[in-house]
Structure 1
């Protein structure tokens, strides 16, 4: 474990996550910040990206003349395709997710509990997303579920919590949380600090109201 001087912005965090994905993995990147990870995967990692709207072999996000309005990810962002990319029915895509064929998924979150419970689809606020969608299938269908999120909400409220207070997406499904303040592993003993950015263990324990394991 180390502590470095500055917080991580989303692009730097995406690069860190990309580097941690094992070579040869089949991976789904959730809507929002996790889509940035596609821009940082190296060709020699041979990571195959899956998107639940029916694509396998997605490349980085598209820009400028790369944009094809018919080629989008689940968040409706324009993307590129890699050699060998394939397309299939939405139902087949969900069968891949539910059948345990994905090695990793990386999702955003409103809250993650110390047991790895995930809440990432609704805060109950007006205009919030009306249904859990494919997140519940990804969270429990992938062999490992990572979360990419800010550690604190805009009002300073912790998002790594003892108990989730928002509607749950999945129970005990998250194994690692990547945040602007640090990276945390979650196992049967609780939350363990893997890395810290611009803060200390003691400061975070006080701000979160938690005690880290180990």
Structure 2
């Protein structure tokens, strides 16, 4: 295992990859402005200012007037760490481009609208811890069989079985590789539970994937 923060250049996150969330939003997506459910993966970036690591404090967000925001939430995902240049690969060969797996946490403002990218809510400083290490791909037989959990102050608040993702890990790598070339060290966060977990100032949050690791962070004050 490599005990470093494994981010290089891009951290690409996949939204709306929870089957239950998509089912709950079906009626909404069939109305304006969407008019139909998404037919391709819904992606967003966590830019460099958001990157953080295991054990680090996550800053509590402030509004445009400098006041602490009333609410923040967290989601957690399996992070797929790319091992070699990946461009236009098939689902059948996609997993051979993976160096390893890690845990990605995404702290953000609550999100209600998926029509436009939520730059304000997703680009908060220190809001994307990654770690605690890279687990080699050879150690994970089937990434789609893993389970992602979130505990706040020791109490489990969310469990997301990756078997419930709309699109598999291999399918996502393939599709994204047709949108953009992926380089070694870059990460895809393949899917989050639709219901994000509310957090409060001072909370200790543990995001865990058995066989991959437990990423621990605390929420700062503001």
TM-score by length of 2: 0.26
| Higher-RCO chain (CA-CA 8 Å, sequence separation at least 6) | 2
* Structure whose residues are more often strand by fraction: 2
TM-score by length of 1: 0.26
